[in-house]
Chain A
Amino acid sequence: MSTLEIKNLQVAVSTDEGMKQILRGVDLTIKSGETHAIMGPNGSGKSTLAYSIAGHPKYTVTGGSVLLDGVDVLEMRVDERAKAGLFLAMQYPVEVPGVSVSNFLRTAATAIRGEAPKVRTWVGEVKEAMASLNMDPAFAERNVNEGFSGGEKKRHEILQMELLKPKIAILDETDSGLDVDALRIVSEGVNRVKESHDIGIMLITHYTRILRYIKPDFVHVFAAGRIVEEGGAELADKLEEKGYAEYVTA
């Protein structure tokens, strides 16, 4: 049983015109087995929240705290956060030329698990996970995200989640750029990992579409750097109908 506690989180980013405040006091608690949808208009700070928790150097925490099972996440290096059990499926996964997917996955698994996975079981594990995400095995020999289509990048993110088995996963617009079939396959992957490992999920999305496949326990509306409304799955239906207009003007 794990708990991610975000308390009054305030984050700024440095721009040419100086520091720009983006997160203005975010409070959110996610427990194992729970799925929290974070929904909000573009530019409201959703990715900033995701990146700040993962420790991207571009973002400066100006106040508040993030605790994973009571331990201060903000004090940890980026790799330590991953080892502690946090995972971020990125909105824009990064290309890493010259580093093959298989080498990358194995290096990451070795780091997270604290020992190199046994070659024989590892190969099977990767193959199986790739097959369940409908990924061509040839992907293993390609360079990380290089020349991947949008959908392939997102599958590759979920593949990593499946292999690294985090405690809490943050999925930043994993649904964007996916066609219906890919959305279904990726969502099934997320549900599979969630069920088998009882992970907690922060599902960041702009659209309600993915919520047909991944059922949220809680929905949080995000606007101008903070959560402005919270509810159950029914809140998503309201957003579907009315959009974000009332929050943006508020």
Chain B
Amino acid sequence: MSLNSNLLESHTPTSREELWRFTPLAKLRGLHDLDVSLSSRVSLGAGVEHSGLSISIVDAADAPSNSETNDLVSMRVRELSTKVLKVEVDKNCEIAVPIFLTRTVESLDPEVSRTVIHLGANSRATIVVENTGSITLAEEIIITLDAGSTLNFVSLQEWENDAVHLGHHHAIIGKDASFISTVITLGGSLVRLLPTVEYAGPGSSAELSGIYFATSGQHMEHRIHVDHNLPHAKSRVNYKGALSGDKARTVWFGDVFIHANAEGTDTYEVNRNLLLSDGARADSVPNLEIETGEIVGAGHASTTGRFDDEQLFYLESRGIPANIARQLVIRGFFLEIVAKLGLPEIEERIMLRIEDELEKASA
């Protein structure tokens, strides 16, 4: 199943469809439903100014989609968005400070939002999308990386517990360009994100990481799709999740597709889930399809399990109380990914939120 094929007729998805069968559609407040009208609002905004950086709101006609999609909600977002947030980094420009794109929220009425991000050749930037508050949002973010550019892209879902967020982040990675994406989902009633990548030249690389922590009643779904559509590209996927509480639910799909022409592909994907209580359910489905044997490597791993009793015993036998031992292990579990962000203040905030969720879960 490639992104570039299988263009669907637009329709209201049902839970009989493979791509939607895990998602509780009733919780979407109509985001997926063609009979429900959605308003268009550019809900992301930025307060930064930097030479070589331009951030503007343009007409949808001036920001046409440069990729295909088979995601029904993304199709709706494209069709209904009248204005688009456009972020451009000039070629050869290095922006040392992180560019924060902050979500504004107004109501729980369902809405769509589109963003396009373009990094010129050999440029470098860090973009952090901050999602907080309550919203019913379907969005698409299209990221185009020209040759030799590097983007550190962070999407933070620190929503309130009534937020509904469907999102598609698609990156098109040019020759020798690097896309480093970290998706952090710690809040929301239902979050369903589709981080997808395709390549536009050899030597390109994608590092897709993420963490999620679902507590009672939360549904967090991440569907990664890496399309190795040309030779000599690399991908690494590493997502880690924890679940605690009744009806905490996570879904993870890692689809990696290596086309017949994609010789020299180097890919590895892993998903690890930590079940902290009864009544939680994690689905983890790595899926690797390989059409050529001429590759550097391709692998996947997936684990879902409870706390390692031996780890807890080791810590407790050094005088560390059980609750603190558990915190240490969970912190450590997530820190592997969070510590790589290179954004100390964000790291601290994320770890605090995780501790907060942990406390709520054990209360």
Contact = CB atoms under 8 A, between A and B. Distances in A.
A112 B318 CA distance: 8
Contact of A99 (B309, B313, B321, B331): B331
A94 B322 contact: no
Contacts of A108: 315, 318-320
Interface residues of B, number: 24
Given A103-B328, A111-B320, A143-B332, A96 B315 contact: yes
A192 B254 CA distance: 53
A78 B313 contact: yes
Given A54-B313, A77-B322, A79-B325, 12 more contacts: A56-B313, A82-B318, A93-B314, A94-B314, A96-B314, A98-B332, A99-B328, A99-B331, A108-B318, A108-B320, A111-B319, A112-B319
B333 A94 contact: no
A11 to B, nearest CB: 16
B184 to A, nearest CB: 16
A240 B34 CA distance: 83
10 contacts: A58-B309, A77-B322, A79-B316, A94-B310, A94-B313, A96-B311, A96-B314, A96-B328, A97-B333, A104-B328
The 7 lowest CB-CB distance pairs between A and B, nearest first, are A98-B332, A82-B319, A108-B318, A111-B319, A78-B316, A94-B314, A112-B319
Contact of A79 (B311, B320, B334, B336): B320
A154 interface: no
Q: Which of A83, A93, A108 has the largest number of chain B CB atoms within 10 A?
A: A108
B194 interface: no
A79 B322 contact: yes
Contact of A96 (B324, B332, B334): B332
B317 to A, nearest CB: 5
B335 interface: yes
Interface centre among A82, A94, A98, A164 (most CB of B within 10 A): A98
A143 to B, nearest CB: 7
A82 B316 contact: yes
Give the size category of A's interface with B: 20 to 34
B328 A160 contact: no
Nearest to A145: B314
B317 A164 contact: no
Nearest to A90: B314
A183 interface: no
B313 A57 contact: yes
A40 interface: no
Contacts of A112: 318-319
A98 B314 contact: no
Contacts of B334: 98
Contacts of A82: 316-319
B329 interface: yes
B334 to A, nearest CB: 7
B78 to A, nearest CB: 40
A202 interface: no
A164 B318 CA distance: 8
Nearest to A95: B311
Contacts of B318: 79, 82, 104, 108, 111-112, 160, 164
Contacts of A94: 308, 310-311, 313-314
A107 B324 contact: yes
A103 B311 CA distance: 15
A104 B314 CA distance: 11
A79 B318 CA distance: 6
Given A96-B332, A98-B331, A143-B332, A55 B317 contact: yes
Nearest to B334: A98
A20 to B, nearest CB: 19
A227 interface: no
Interface string B290-327: 00000000000000000011110111111111101100
Interface in A66-109: 77-79, 81-83, 88, 90, 93-99, 103-104, 107-108
Contacts of B331: 98-99
A193 B334 CA distance: 36
Nearest to B309: A57
B336 A97 contact: yes
Contacts of B336: 97-98
Given A97-B332, A97-B333, A98-B332, A83 B313 contact: no
Given A82-B318, A83-B319, A111 B324 contact: yes
Interface string A100-141: 000110011001100000000000000000000000000000
A145 to B, nearest CB: 8
Contacts of A93: 314
Contacts of A144: 314
Given A94-B310, A104-B315, A79 B328 contact: no
B329 A96 contact: yes
Contacts of B333: 97-98
Given A94-B310, A98-B334, A111-B324, A78 B329 contact: no
